[in-house]
């Protein structure tokens, strides 16, 4: 039976199991939207295409599935660019399907023409400009396969209006696409796995560094198994927050420029780092030339191009995180571990006494209760991190107190998903809010996209209607996709937004304070809107508290936010000078704090 390209597209999406599409119609995807009317696929009408991609991205991050976006040609397509780049940097499977001007008009600077496949070349895993309607269905199946396999990432499909209108027939491909030039390696090389196991068995100060690839691969179970089996402390990058439950004794927190002192100290002093699904970004390594100077490095990644890109590697293993970690655990059992046989944890027995090794990692010893702690706390070196996170009742500043109180309340709630925007509030959230599981802390790590948080919360809430979805935002970030408040109302989504308002583009302001002698060039946002009125205008509930005057109401208002019906917003005014601490000096190693 002959159907048009648009109908074939929708049928392909149905057969691929797509339940929801985020987008905005326009002239060049009008046929696609017409075909969508006959489908059971739900459509989320957004207010800006960038937000559509963030929603699809948030949906994909929260579920582990694929997010799908429709946008029209020209500005519709170019509006998706920041969203696509965000997904690309964090390896999130998103399919963006754009309209394009008619094939006969391509190249003529027609109305709403933009060469979106070329524009997005550096930020997509692959892309298609479909000039032949018969190529459409195979391309869609191939696009989904590419987006979700290997190292996941966004794929763009550009469909000219006349191709969507042209006649074709629909045949569901009987098998997964085979691409001779694309065959991701899943299983790690056995010899390399053996080499890694031997290094682990011999290591005194191993650290397991888990990145976003662990989440993509759903390998948290394997990380936990290996960590517990060999008693290896675990460091989770921003992208891997939640891979180990916040309360797990082996968890040292986040590495890098804004990392925890214990994580950074452990990496800096380690004699072995087992890095899994992480790309050693410069935010995570700080000074890459002096990164982990004593450590041998085992790097497990499904993307061979990440291995050796930023950091030297001793044992490279290309493969899927879960598969390789499973093999590693199995191999490790065979390589007899004396430490485990004595019923002691590696971390405990390897703690050097302060006299024999004065440069011992303060973090590991001081912070990690291990299973056999006989020697551990007593022999902890005295120089505990000077600026420990505020979890002992001593807050570094007012904002830390806000987050700590917030964390207590969130911990008491069930099934919480946190999204963040980008800036100081993001780092406070990553430091001070707990995530009990992976896919429960969604943040733009690689690109650092302000405006990600609320759309991502909408995507996550759609996927998990019963969850408590909380977006932590800032006064700078929130205004970058504020229009999506309307989308949340359309969908009756009870998302909660906490705006940490310090009346500034705070993280840049912090850099100006610390490194540019307090020259605050254009970072102060004196005239923020009245967020309570804004909430009202969008039919949200809104409240505002000032931590100066109403400190005691903090808890009540946070509780109100979490318990309120429907979408709700709480503006929390905090002091502008509050800093994200601790922080590594620009250009410094992981132990050189500001």
Partner 1 sequence: MAEHTLSILVDNKPGVLTRVTGLIARRGYNIESLSVDKTEDPRLSRVTLVTTAEDVPIEQIKKQLHKLINVHKITELTPEDSVDRELALFKVKAATDKRPELIKLTEVFKAQVIDVAADTLTIELAGDHNTIAQLEELLSPYGIVEVARSGKLALPRGNW
Where do contacts with partner 1 occur on this chain (CB under 8 A)?
A: 117-118, 121-122, 125-126, 129, 146, 179-182, 303-305, 308-309
Backbone angles phi, psi at 47, to 5 degrees: -105, -10
Distance in angstroms (rounded) separating the CA atoms of residues 574 and 473 = 13
Shortest gap between Cβ of 125 and partner 1 (angstroms)?
8
Cβ closest to partner 1, residue 309 vs residue 337? 309
Enumerate the H helices of 467-546 as residue ranges: 475-478, 485-490, 506-515, 531-537
Shortest gap between Cβ of 500 and partner 1 (angstroms)?
35
Shortest gap between Cβ of 180 and partner 1 (angstroms)?
7
Cβ closest to partner 1, residue 82 vs residue 254? 82
Cβ closest to partner 1, residue 182 vs residue 560? 182
The residue to which tokens 């390209």 are assigned: 5
Cβ closest to partner 1, residue 291 vs residue 406? 291
Shortest gap between Cβ of 452 and partner 1 (angstroms)?
23
What are the distances in angstroms from CA 139 to CA 13, 129, 155, 172, 326? 11, 10, 11, 12, 34
Q: Give me 394's structure tokens.
A: 């001593």
Shortest gap between Cβ of 121 and partner 1 (angstroms)?
5
Shortest gap between Cβ of 71 and partner 1 (angstroms)?
20
Shortest gap between Cβ of 122 and partner 1 (angstroms)?
6
Question: Do 455 and 481 touch, CB atoms closer than 8 A?
Answer: yes
Cβ closest to partner 1, residue 31 vs residue 306? 306
Shortest gap between Cβ of 181 and partner 1 (angstroms)?
4
Shortest gap between Cβ of 312 and partner 1 (angstroms)?
11
Cβ closest to partner 1, residue 126 vs residue 509? 126
Cβ closest to partner 1, residue 118 vs residue 169? 118
Shortest gap between Cβ of 437 and partner 1 (angstroms)?
30
Handedness of CA 457, 461, 464, 467 (dihedral sign): positive
Q: Which DSSP category does 209 fall into?
A: E
Cβ closest to partner 1, residue 64 vs residue 184? 184
Enumerate the H helices of 155-216 as residue ranges: 161-165, 190-202, 212-216
Distance in angstroms (rounded) separating the CA atoms of residues 425 and 522 = 19
Distance in angstroms (rounded) separating the CA atoms of residues 558 and 545 = 10
Q: Is 522 strand, coil or helix?
A: coil
Distance in angstroms (rounded) separating the CA atoms of residues 571 and 474 = 9
Beta bridge partners of 571: 499, 544
Cβ closest to partner 1, residue 275 vs residue 346? 275
Closest by CA position to 5, among listed 103, 120, 81: 103
Give residues with Cβ within 8 angstroms of 37, minimum separation 6.
none
Closest by CA position to 594, among listed 102, 583, 504: 583
Question: Do 266 and 361 touch, CB atoms closer than 8 A?
Answer: yes
324: exposed, middle or buried (C-beta count within 10 Å: 0-12, 13-18, 19+)?
Answer: buried
Cβ closest to partner 1, residue 117 vs residue 399? 117
Give residues with Cβ within 8 angstroms of 392, minimum separation 6.
none
């Amino acid at each position: 039976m002959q159907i048009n390209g648009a109908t074939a597209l929708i049928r392909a999406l149905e057969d691929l199991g797509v339940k929801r599409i985020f987008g905005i119609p326009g002239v060049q995807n009008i046929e696609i939207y017409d075909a969508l009317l006959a489908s059971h696929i739900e459509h989320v009408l957004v207010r800006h295409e960038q937000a559509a991609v963030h929603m699809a991205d948030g949906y994909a991050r929260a579920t582990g599935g694929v997010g799908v976006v429709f946008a029209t040609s020209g500005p519709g397509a170019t509006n998706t660019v920041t969203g696509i780049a965000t997904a690309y940097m964090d390896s999130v499977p998103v399919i963006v399907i754009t309209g394009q001007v008619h094939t006969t008009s391509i190249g003529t600077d027609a109305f709403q023409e933009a060469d979106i496949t070329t524009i997005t070349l550096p930020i997509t895993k692959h892309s298609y400009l479909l000039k032949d309607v018969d190529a459409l269905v195979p391309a869609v199946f191939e696009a989904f396969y590419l987006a979700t396999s290997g190292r996941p990432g966004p794929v763009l499909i550009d469909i000219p209006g006349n191709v969507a209108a042209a006649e074709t027939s629909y045949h569901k491909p009987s098998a997964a696409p085979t691409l001779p030039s694309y065959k991701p390696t899943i299983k790690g090389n056995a010899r390399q796995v053996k080499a890694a196991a031997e290094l682990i068995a011999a290591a005194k100060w191993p650290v397991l560094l888990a990145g976003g690839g662990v989440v993509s691969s759903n390998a948290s179970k394997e990380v936990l198994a290996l960590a517990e089996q060999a008693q290896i402390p675990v460091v989770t990058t921003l992208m891997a927050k939640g891979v180990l439950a916040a309360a797990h004794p082996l968890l040292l927190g986040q590495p890098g420029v804004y990392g925890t002192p214990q994580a950074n100290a452990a990496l800096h002093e380690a004699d072995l780092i087992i890095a899994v699904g992480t790309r050693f970004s410069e935010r995570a390594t700080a000074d890459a030339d002096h990164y982990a100077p004593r450590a041998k490095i085992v790097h497990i990644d499904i993307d061979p191009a990440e291995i050796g890109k930023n950091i030297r590697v001793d044992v490279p293993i290309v493969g899927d995180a879960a598969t390789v970690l499973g093999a590693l655990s199995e191999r490790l059992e065979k390589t007899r571990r004396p430490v485990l046989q004595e019923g002691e944890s590696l971390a405990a027995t390897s703690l050097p006494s302060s006299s024999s090794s004065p440069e011992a990692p303060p973090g590991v010893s001081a912070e990690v209760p291990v299973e056999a702690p006989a020697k551990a706390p007593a022999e902890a070196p005295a120089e505990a991190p000077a600026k420990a996170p505020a979890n002992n009742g001593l807050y570094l500043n007012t904002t830390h107190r806000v987050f700590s109180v917030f964390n207590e309340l969130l911990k008491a709630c069930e099934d919480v998903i946190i999204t963040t925007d980008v800036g100081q509030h993001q780092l406070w959230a990553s430091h001070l809010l707990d995530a009990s599981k992976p896919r429960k802390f969604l943040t733009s790590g690689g690109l650092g996209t302000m405006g990600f948080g609320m759309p991502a919360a909408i995507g996550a809430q759609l996927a998990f209607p019963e969850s408590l979805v909380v977006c932590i935002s800032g006064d700078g970030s929130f205004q970058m996709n504020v229009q999506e408040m309307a989308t949340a109302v359309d969908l009756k989504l009870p998302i909660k937004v906490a705006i940490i308002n310090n009346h500034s583009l705070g993280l840049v302001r912090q850099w100006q304070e610390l490194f540019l002698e307090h020259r605050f060039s254009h970072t102060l946002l004196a005239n923020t809107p009245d967020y309570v009125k804004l909430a009202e205008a969008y039919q949200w509930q809104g409240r505002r508290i000032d931590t100066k005057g109403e400190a005691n109401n903090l808890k009540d208002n946070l509780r109100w936010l979490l318990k309120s019906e429907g979408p709700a917003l709480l503006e929390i005014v905090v002091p502008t000078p509050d800093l994200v601490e601790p922080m590594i000096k620009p250009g410094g190693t992981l132990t050189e704090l500001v």
